[in-house]
Amino acid sequence: MLRRREFLATLSCAPLAAGASGYEPVVAAQAYVFSQVYALHDQKIEDHYSEVLETLKGAGFHTVELVSQFFAPDVASNNAQSLMLSRLKCPIVYNSGVLHTADGAKTTMQETLALVKRVKASGPLDLLNFNANPKPNKEPKTDAELALQAENLNKLAKDLKKMGVRLMLHQHDAEMAQDAREWRQMLKTTDPKLVEICLDVHWVLRGGQDPMTLLKEAAPRLAALHLRNSKKGVWTEAFGEGDIDYTAVAAFLKQGGFKGYLVVELAYDKQTEMTLSLEANLRSSREYAEKVFDVKA
């Protein structure tokens, strides 16, 4: 938990990058939560593309991060048209896959590059947000597997750079095990000029690590944050006050002149108490993000 008494301590942290100035983050929304909502009714998110976009637009967002399912080969063309008609910007697409084995990495990189080509057909794309899949049952990866994963991340980033797209590495709780061994190894062994970081703040906490500590470590390569909160460990229906004190996060980003993306990513636990519609929760999440980070969506 980030406590308010830690707030002043963050002000003495190293800045995000040498000479950084001009705090200009972009508030966006991740569409993952719709997958959960539609799954409750045995429906697929890719069958409700226009509805998803209208809900995000109705909640006041102008920028979105979409998951790869939106751009599956059989629906990409129609969904690209819907995105253009919605006038929402989609500078980030999220994907995941295996990179710690040779065969898995070959398939992942082929599918990821094909995905990026389809996404670019719908408009400008700035970043691929990539999560390296864990092993079954979240078994720790060996040193050799982590070395291969880092090598493949660098290769994927080089291929994406040729397409005018940057790569940032996302994480869940598996990478936080053993004192964030996998995450720190990727930070150490990938090329900082090629592989940037999307820090999923609450997954850091759920993985047993301190968000502010990892935020400081990732700072020179930080391109985005995924934002969510909880109360007593249970994800809240909207992004707002809770177990993580985001005022400390905001203060650190302001000091470093952060210019990346602040992505609201709602997700629900089985115990999450739902009292409002998804659009209402997204709207209040946007308003809270604008307030705590002192920025407009």
For the chain, give the DSSP string.
---GGGHHHHTTSPPSSTT------EEEEE-HHHHHHHHTTT--GGGGHHHHHHHHHHTT-SEEEEEGGGG-TTTHHHHHHHHHHHT-EEEEEEEEE--SSHHHHHHHHHHHHHHHHHHHTTS---EEEEEEPPPGGGPPPPHHHHHHHHHHHHHHHHHHHHTT-EEEEE--SGGGHHHHHHHHHHHHHS-TTTEEEEEEHHHHHHTTS-HHHHHHHHGGGEEEEEE--EETTEEPSSS-SSSS-HHHHHHHHHHHT--SEEEE-----TTPPP-S-HHHHHHHHHHHHHHHHT---
pLDDT of residue 200: 98
pLDDT of residue 276: 97
pLDDT, tens digit, for every residue of 133-144? 999 999 999 999
**Within the chain, which residues score under 50 in pLDDT?**
1-20
Domains and CATH numbers, the chain: 4-293 (3.20.20.150)
pLDDT of residue 19: 39
pLDDT of residue 18: 37
pTM over 0.75: yes
pLDDT of residue 46: 79
pLDDT of residue 44: 86
pLDDT of residue 11: 39
pLDDT of residue 4: 42
pLDDT of residue 21: 63
